[in-house]
Structure 1
Amino acid sequence: MEMLAQYGPMLLALAAAGIAAGLAAGLFGIGGGAIIVPVLYFLFEGMGYGETAMHVAVSTSLATIILTSIRSVLAHDRHGAVDWQILKDWAPWIVVGALIGMGISSYLSNRGLLAIFGSLAFLLAAQLYFGRPTWRLADDMPGGPVRAALGTSVGTLSALMGIGGGTFGVSLMTLCGRPIHKAVATAAGWGVAIGLPGALAAILVGWGTEGRPPFSLGNVNLAAFALISVFTVTMVPVGAALAHRLGEANLKRWFAVLLALVAARMLWKAIGL
């Protein structure tokens, strides 16, 4: 009973984060990391773990991506929307990028990670607000050194932000001529290539670190991983159903505004104000 009183508010907040992340993934077609990371950061900071809050938030978000990504890509595959050749060709470079991202994060301070998340979240918000599915940079996905560079960059930036492959992957594929439904389905699979190596690296990097929130294994918080994963997977279909009723385009713009405000708040924290 004493443990429930002590950790009950934390567990309720984690469940709420999972619900919000699942709804966002279904409503807006992006991974829940853009919501999970800020929620976990402010939760852990409020509990007095400010020095490790951002590292644990990013790492835990990467862990939650694994299950939701698998569920999503299998669901899309039943409709024949997943381009497995793209997954096969790009996954190795994305894995390399995810490991590089986690390696970089181990040398960054809490403020450094906050600044990176806030800056990239602003770019994501701008893409959500102004982006159009008709924009094109190429007629096909690149190969060779360009693929290696872009795949590594996607993995690195996603790992530093604690988000799945859908955030950058959908934009990249649509700009390279892939239909939006195939881009969404295929980019969902990139989440495993980011989340799995990223989470394992986070456990090793954070092993033995002092001042982490309770129930943490390395930099991955197991309580947050379990609760958020369950509620995210459950709420994704609900969010998708709501998107069809409420008008996805306007919802994305409203979410972009909200994300920009969150990004501003995290940048504010990064500069110590």
Structure 2
Amino acid sequence: MVVFELMFLLPLLGAVTGLLAGLFGVGGGAVMVPVLTWLFYRFNLSELWVVHLALGTSMAAIIPTAIASLRAHHRRGGVYWNAVRGLAPGIILGSFAATFVASNLEPEPLSLFFFVFMCVIAWRLLRSGKPGETGDRQINLPRLSQLSLVGSGIGAISALAAIGGGTLTVPYLASRGLPLKTAIGSSAAVGLPIAMAGTLGYLWNGFQQVDLPAWSTGFVYWPGVLGIAATSLLTAPLGASLAHRLPVGVLRRLFALLVVLLALQMLLMTLAA
């Protein structure tokens, strides 16, 4: 019964996260993790592993969303592949390693990290203007070894917060001279290896745990992944199209406020449980 009720709610979540993934180059974890945490608490899916399941399920759900978003941005020439190739090796290593840390943390510190991290990202979004939108700055990426190190940091933080990395990758690439829309498209491409490595880590670390719900493998709850992906695959290309047509300044600030509210809800809910 729980699975059937969730399958009515999760496509709504998938539609929103897919749109955000295409529009902002993010994986959607900033929305998925707190909402999934609320849903899993609401339906008593697991008392011990609720936050871990939300993180692992979010990571797995990012994979199809990232693929759809990546393809849409690539068709519009919005992916700078040199940056993606430089960041990817470090991102894969950092994402996978960080899941071992997350899997051994209690829900409270994990939720606190997610809340603090999202508040920092929201603050950066609120105080920033429109970096890189002029399109006339010279692209100035560091050499490959340094870029891979940056990727390790992005991957590790992204796996801990179960996000696609766009909240870190977009500001970084824009600061190195990429136009904002190209930074968003490149971030969508970077989100795929983050999600794949992070998912593998959450599967591995949760495989031997007890008190996990049916239809889950490790910390990945498959009905959640399927329910979200069913609609995110459709709305991610729409978000990518909007990103290449609309000014994003106001939308970015609204997204920052949404991130803070959702992260706060997740923190309060975890502390009250």
Is 2:48 aligned against 1:32?
Answer: no
Per-residue CA deviation, residues 158-183 of structure 1 (Å, 9 max, x unaligned), is: 00111113221111100111111221
What SS class does the counterpart of residue 34 from structure 2 fall into?
helix
Of residues 119, 124, 129, the one that matches 2:121 is 124
Per-residue Cα deviation, 1:87-112 (whole angstroms, up to 9, x for no partner): 22221101110011111112111112
Change (3 A) 1:77 1:55: same
The AA in structure 1 aligned to 2:58 is: S
RMSD in angstroms over aligned alpha carbons? Answer: 2.5
User: Residue by residue, what CA displacement relative to the aligned partner does 1:124-170 show, whole Å, maximum 9, x if unpaired?
Assistant: 2112222223379x961222553233211100000011111322111
- 1:118-157 alignment runs, 5 A limit: 118-134=115-131, 140-143=140-143, 146-157=146-157
CA contact (8 A) 1:53 1:212 kept: no
Could you tell me the TM-score, scaled by structure 1's length?
Answer: 0.88
Give, in whole Å, the separation in 2 of the partners of 1:245 and 1:182: 13
The residue number in structure 2 matching 1:79 is 76
Q: Give the letter aligned to residue 126 of structure 2.
A: Y
Matches within 5 A, 1:16-95: 16-48=12-44, 49-95=46-92
CA distance in 2 between partners of 1:159 and 1:175 (Å)? 23
Aligned position for 1:173: 173
Distance 1:222 1:127 in 2: 33
3-state SS, counterpart of residue 203 of structure 1: helix
Match of 2:254?
254
| Equivalent residues of 1:165, 1:189 under 8 A apart | no
Question: Structure 1 residues 197, 31: CA separation in 2 closer, same or farther (over 3 Å shift)?
Answer: closer
User: Is the deviation greater in 97-106 or in 78-87?
Assistant: 78-87
Residues 144, 252 of structure 1: CA spacing in aligned structure 2 closer, same or farther, 3 A cutoff?
Answer: closer
Q: Which residue identity does 2:69 align to in structure 1?
A: S
Question: Unmatched 5+ residue regions in structure 1?
Answer: none
Q: In structure 1, what is the Cα distance between the partners aligned to 2:183 and 2:16?
A: 23
The separation in 1 between residues aligned to 2:145 and 2:85, in whole angstroms, is 16
Query: For residues 71 and 26 of structure 1, what CA distance do their matches in structure 2 show?
Result: 8
SS at match of 1:211: coil
Aligned in 2, Cα 1:198/1:179: closer, same or farther, shift over 3 Å?
same
CA contact (8 A) 1:44 1:50 kept: no
Q: Distance in 1 between matches of 2:146 and 2:241?
A: 37
Equivalent residue letter for 2:251: L
Q: Which moved more, 1:16-25 or 1:105-114?
A: 16-25
Look up the equivalent residue of 1:11 and give its one-letter code. M
**In terms of mean alpha carbon deviation, does 17-26 or 261-270 score higher?**
261-270
Distance 1:96 1:245, change over 3 A: closer
Report how many aligned residue pairs link the two structures.
268
5+ residue gaps, structure 2, are none
> Could you tell me how far apart the structure 1 residues matched to 2:242 and 2:60 are?
26
The offset of 1:243, in angstroms, is 6.9
Residues 6/98 of structure 1: CA separation in 2 closer, same or farther (3 Å cut): closer
TM-superposed deviation, 1:118: 0.7
Match of 1:9 in 2: 5
Task: Quote how far apart the aligned CAs of 1:232 are.
Answer: 0.8
Deviates more, 1:40-49 or 1:16-25: 16-25
